[in-house]
A = this chain, B = another copy of it.
Amino acid sequence: MERAQIQGLAAAARNASIALAQLDAKIKNAALTAMAGSLEAQSATIIDANKKDIAAAQKDGLSAAIIDRLRLSDTRVKAMADSLRTIASLEDPVGQKISTRKRPNGLVIDKVRVPIGVIFIIYESRPNVTSDCAGLCLKSGNAVILRGGSEAINSNIAIYDIVKGSCKSFGLPEAAITLMRDTDRKAIEILLAQKEYIDLVMPRGGEELINFVTEKSRIAVIKHYKGICHTYVDEEADLNMAERICFNAKVQRPGVCNAMETLLVHKDVAVRFLPSMVKKFRDAGVEIRGCEKMRSIISAIAGPASGAKDIKAATEEDWYTEYLDLILSVKVVEDPDEAIAHIRKYGSMHSETIVTDNQRNADYFLKKVDSACVYVNASTRFTDGGEFGMGAEIGISTEKLHARGPMGLEELTTYKYVIYGNGQIRE
Asked whether B404 lies within 8 Å of A414 as measured between CB atoms, the reply is yes
Asked whether A419 lies within 8 Å of B373 as measured between CB atoms, the reply is yes
Asked whether A414 lies within 8 Å of B388 as measured between CB atoms, the reply is no
Which residues of chain B come closer than 8 Å to A388, judged between CB atoms?
A: 101, 103, 109, 417
Which residues of chain B come closer than 8 Å to A244, judged between CB atoms?
A: 423, 425
Asked whether B376 lies within 8 Å of A421 as measured between CB atoms, the reply is yes
Minimum Cβ distance to chain B for residue A107 (Å): 6
Asked whether A389 lies within 8 Å of B101 as measured between CB atoms, the reply is yes
Number of chain A residues whose Cβ lies closer than 8 Å to a Cβ of chain B: 62
Q: A107-B382, A382-B424 are in contact. List 4 more A-B contacts (CB 8 A).
A: A21-B370, A116-B400, A372-B417, A379-B426
Contact indicator per residue, chain A 90-122, by CB within 8 Å of chain B (1) or not (0): 000000000001010001010000101100000
Which residues of chain B come closer than 8 Å to A109, judged between CB atoms?
A: 388-389
Which residues of chain B come closer than 8 Å to A423, judged between CB atoms?
A: 238, 241, 244-245, 377-378
Asked whether B416 lies within 8 Å of A376 as measured between CB atoms, the reply is no
Contact indicator per residue, chain A 229-252, by CB within 8 Å of chain B (1) or not (0): 000000000100100110111001
Contact flag A425-B379 (CB < 8 Å), given A401-B414, A402-B401, A416-B405:
yes
Q: A372-400: which residues lie under 8 A (CB-CB) from chain B?
A: 372-379, 381-383, 387-389, 399-400
A287 at the interface (CB under 8 A from B): no
Quick one: copies of this chain in the complex? 2
Asked whether B420 lies within 8 Å of A377 as measured between CB atoms, the reply is yes
Contact indicator per residue, chain A 355-373, by CB within 8 Å of chain B (1) or not (0): 0000000000011101111
Asked whether A420 lies within 8 Å of B103 as measured between CB atoms, the reply is no
A390 to chain B: closest residue by CB? B101
A415 at the interface (CB under 8 A from B): yes
- The 10 listed contacts between A and B (C-beta, < 8 Å) are A101-B389, A103-B387, A248-B425, A252-B426, A374-B418, A377-B423, A378-B419, A378-B423, A381-B425, A382-B426
Asked whether B22 lies within 8 Å of A116 as measured between CB atoms, the reply is no
Q: How far is the CA of A396 from the CA of B245 in the complex (A)?
A: 45
Which residues of chain B come closer than 8 Å to A416, judged between CB atoms?
A: 370-374, 404-405
Which residues of chain B come closer than 8 Å to A107, judged between CB atoms?
A: 378, 382, 387
Q: How far is the CA of A402 from the CA of B415 in the complex (A)?
A: 9
Which residues of chain B come closer than 8 Å to A116, judged between CB atoms?
A: 400-401
Which residues of chain B come closer than 8 Å to A220, judged between CB atoms?
A: 399-401
